[in-house]
Structures are given as C-alpha cells and as structure tokens.
Amino acid sequence: MYAIGIDVGTTNCKVCLYRIADFALMKKHSFITPKKLTEYGSDFEITELWKGIIVGLNSVADSVSDPENIATISVASVGEAGVLLDADDIIIGPVMTWYDTRTQPQSERVISRIGESRLYDITGIPAHSNYSLNKILWLTEHADDTRPASWLCLAEYIAFRLCGVKRAEYSLASRTLAFDITQNGWSEEICSAMDIPVSLFSPLVAAGEPTGTLLAELSAATGIPRCAKISVAGHDHMVGSVAVGITQEDQILNSTGTTEGLLVVRNKPSATESYYHSRVSNGHHVLRDAWTLYASLPSAGYAIEWFCKLFNLKPADFNCMTHWLMNKGAAEMPSDSFLIPHLRGSGPPRRTIYARGLVYGVKDQTDAEEFLKAVFQGLCYELRHLLETYESLTGSHWTSVMVIGAACQNPYWLQLKSTILNREIVACGIPEAVSRGAALLGARGAGFEPQNCSLPENAFTRYQPDEKSAQRFSVVYEQIYKHLYETKIQIENQMSRTPL
C-alpha cells in the first residue's frame, strides 16, 4: 500500500509517493510554485498550481506497477494564504501569497474594531496583515457584487478539488485570525465585529482525517483509485515536525525554507501579556490534543535567493562558494559585516511589515564571498534573537536544535548556526520532510500504521560549536547586532507613522 503527501510551498510544490509498510520514498515530483507580480502585490497562479499537482499525481502513480494500492492523499501547505469562493465555488479575486502586504489597511481596521490585545486573547496570534482574515476582507471589498460563500486555506482548497468536500484543519485555522484558540472553534466575536458570517469557514477536522475519496474524473486522469482517501495534513512547518518525531516540549525544531521558524510542542496555549508583547504565535498542532509555540522569520532561504539574484549566481556557483567558505573555516570567525535580513519585514520579537534589510560593515574590499558571509551570519544572529526570546518566555533552555528543510543541504550554514547559537545543531537529512509528514498523517488518519517509520541514526548529522569561536560571535551579536536591530526598528516604526 502507498500514501501520497503533497507539500504546497512558497517556492516549490512537491508530490511524493511513500510505501506505507516502511515509509520509503518511492517517487518525488516537484515543480516551481507558479506566482506572479501584479499592480497590487504577489499572487499564486492557482490554475497553474492545480495543473501542476495533477501532473505530479499522474507522475508518481505511473512510477509503480500497482497504483491501485495508493490508499491516501494528504495535503500540507503554507499558512495564511487561501482561496475565497462564491456560492458556485468560483474563485473570487486573486490568491494572494502569504507575505503580500496589500492588506495592511484591512489589518488596521480589524485592530481598530477589536483591539490588538483582545485579538491575541482570542486567537493566540499577534495581529498582522499576513493573516487570512485580512485577505478575506480585501477580496470581499474588491469583489464588486459577488458574495463570498467560503474560504479555504491552500491545502484545504487542494483537498476540496480532489474530493469535492470542504473542510478546514485546525493548524491552518490557527493562522486565519478568526479561530478562537480557547474555545477551539471559529470566533463568533471576530466574525461579528468584521461583518462576515461564521459560515464562511468550513467545519473543522483533525489533520489527516479523511474528508472524502478521490473524484471519479481525477481517478481516470491520474490512475489513482477512486477509493483513495483525501485529507488535509495542515500547516507545513507543523507537518514537517511529525516527520522527524518532534513531539515533546523539551525539543525544538528549526524548520527552514523560504522562511525559517522555531516550533515547540506545547500542552496548552500561552496567550499571556509577555507572549503578546513578544509577538509569538500560539496555534493548534497537527497532533491531537497538542498546541504549538511558533514564530517565523520572513527571510531565510529567500535572503539566499535574493543574494544569488544580486550577484547573478547559478546554483552551482552558489554551492561552490559555500563549500569554499566551509573549507576556509569561515564559520569559525565573525566577519566585519552582517545583514539584518528584514527583506520582507521582520519577525518576532519586533514583528513589523515596515522593517527593511540593513547591511552593516561593508567596505571597498567587500566581495561576493564576504557579502555571502554577511548574509549567513545575519540569518544566524536573527535566529539567535528569536531563540533567546523563546527561552526568556518559557524558562526553558534547549541545548540542541533540530533542523529540517533547505538548510540541511548546506554544511556551512549548519556549522554557523551551531557556532552563533552556541549549541548542538542536529540536521535531519531526510528529503521532503513536509511531504513525508503529510503522507504519514494521511496514512494514520485512514487507519494504516506503518510498521517502521522511525528514522535511522544516519539520517542525522550533528554539528557542535567551538567555544572560542562562539565567544567571538557573541561579542558581535551583543555589542553590535542587537543595538542596530533595536535602533533600526525604532526608526522604521517612527517612519511608518510619519511617512515621507
């Protein structure tokens, strides 16, 4: 028997086929997530994205001799982004990327009607323009006379297209700004205040719980049996944590990709004043009866993509450059420059869309290699700032950080993380952690329990900090980075109130 996991990501989409017995990856199909820039902002090209998923399903089904044994398809995706539908299930307006900022006026209106503190009390997440509620309001205002009937986050929409049943999943619901984290359901108070019906949101199901079976026409088009069960796996970072066994509060996950985040499993949400002021997010986990503390830094892999475009580097050139830095021992000494990587705004603890990137310390001899060191060191300083925020809030100290995603392909970045964070980094080298987690949740939800899905020890690579190097980086972080960070944010907040 087989399970398929779909990961709809910011940069790439993956469709992966796993053998349920031992959860071996049998086939992977990936494609660049289709997006476009418009006069308003950045949108997913949802029609092309859907076509790519169907091609992917066909590809993985063709890779095995017995596709009739494909039992489940489960979908994970980025959070916040979604699709607004009318009564005939026709898409209303664009499908905005999660990071699009055109909804700032709507966010301000939500705050004015409900209040930031009250929003955090209800939802457990800090008010921000990224969240689904603001996208819904923007789309409704630009929809002419079309009346919206339903909202589905991206993974929920793909699952709906696969089986014809609309359902919402808890971890994605937690990213809408319309979910009551204490009542564990949609917020009547928020919907009423913003003049939208609660019925806009679908009934909630647990991650991996079957919502239907594959539609007949899609079965014919892909070769996957009609009886294959469809489910929503949930928010990609949480789904990825399942793949590597992050289930306890004494574990912390650094999930890397276009963004990077820190995820901790909790037994209850913590929407207290200190958490609110630190702008960290509580949420529902994809695991039953579990919650999350999660915060995302908007630019991680994106900062590297930006660097490569800036210097017109091909992937092979970039890989050579990072190998050269690693062999040179560049992870052992701080450079004279670094990037504060706020290319798409800043993350906690000073989260704002008005933040901008700042390069410090460049001089006339700074070349591409030195600039790349500045990018990587800035990413690691930013992650350290977030990790220290977590430890201050929770009273915990994590001596080891698990890493999944794109960073696991870059030993230089991993060693630098270990040195700047001054703790062990455990890189999980399994391919496509999110797709694997999605397939695992879907299989379990359909009643299949893999006989052996634990990861072998050789799937993990451990990086240890050098004590002297860690002290040198700490001096730069404490004496320069943190001061520039705070000053920059203060200036940007002031400028946002008195624009030029």
| Structural contact between residues 10 and 33, judged by C-beta atoms closer than 8 angstroms | yes
Q: Report the pLDDT averaged over residues 411-432.
A: 93
Point out the least confidently predicted range of 16-30, 167-181, 324-338, 385-399: 324-338
Q: What is the pLDDT of residues 143-180, one digit of tens each?
A: 888 889 999 999 999 999 999 999 999 999 999 999 99
Q: What is the chain's Cα-based Rg?
A: 22
Q: Report the pLDDT averaged over residues 410-433.
A: 93
Compute the distance between CA of residue 451 and CA of residue 22 in angstroms, rounded to an integer.
6
* Prediction pTM value: 0.90
Q: What is the pLDDT of residues 438-449, one digit of tens each?
A: 999 999 999 998
Amino acid in the structure at residue 48: E
Q: What is the pLDDT of residues 61-96, one digit of tens each?
A: 999 999 999 999 999 999 999 999 999 999 999 999
Residue 273 has pLDDT above 80, yes or no: yes
Stronger pLDDT, 448 or 494, i.e. the higher one:
448
* pLDDT of res. 332: 82
Residue 293 has pLDDT above 90, yes or no: yes
* pLDDT of res. 498: 66
Q: pLDDT exceeding 70 applies to what percent of the chain? A: 99
The mean pLDDT of the chain is: 93
* pLDDT of res. 46: 97
53, two tokens: 């998923």
- DSSP letters, 151-215, are EEEHHHHHHHHHHS---EEHHHHTTTT-EETTTTEE-HHHHHHTT--GGGBPPEE-TT---EE--
* pLDDT of res. 389: 94
Nearest to 77 by CA among 178, 167, 162, 5: 5
Q: Report the pLDDT averaged over residues 186-214.
A: 97
Compute the distance between CA of residue 275 and CA of residue 125 in angstroms, rounded to an integer.
9
Q: Report the pLDDT averaged over residues 255-276.
A: 90
Angle at 194 between CA 192 and CA 198, to 5 degrees: 50
- Bridge partners (DSSP) of residue 402 are 253, 426
Domains annotated on the chain, with CATH: 2-239 (3.30.420.40), 245-429+466-500 (3.30.420.40)
Residue 196 has pLDDT above 80, yes or no: yes
DSSP assignment, residue 407?
G
* pLDDT of res. 499: 57
Q: Report the pLDDT averaged over residues 285-298.
A: 92
Which residues lie below 8 Å from residue 448, measured CB to CB, with a gap of 6+?
Answer: 1, 3, 20, 71, 72
Using DSSP bridges, classify how beta strands 179-180 and 95-96 pair: parallel, antiparallel or unpaired. Answer: unpaired
DSSP assignment, residue 373?
H
* pLDDT of res. 500: 54
pLDDT band per the 50, 70, 90 thresholds, residue 352: confident
Helices (H) and strands (E) in the chain, counts: 17, 24
pLDDT band per the 50, 70, 90 thresholds, residue 371: very high
* pLDDT of res. 249: 85
Amino acid in the structure at residue 386: L
Q: Report the pLDDT averaged over residues 461-478.
A: 94
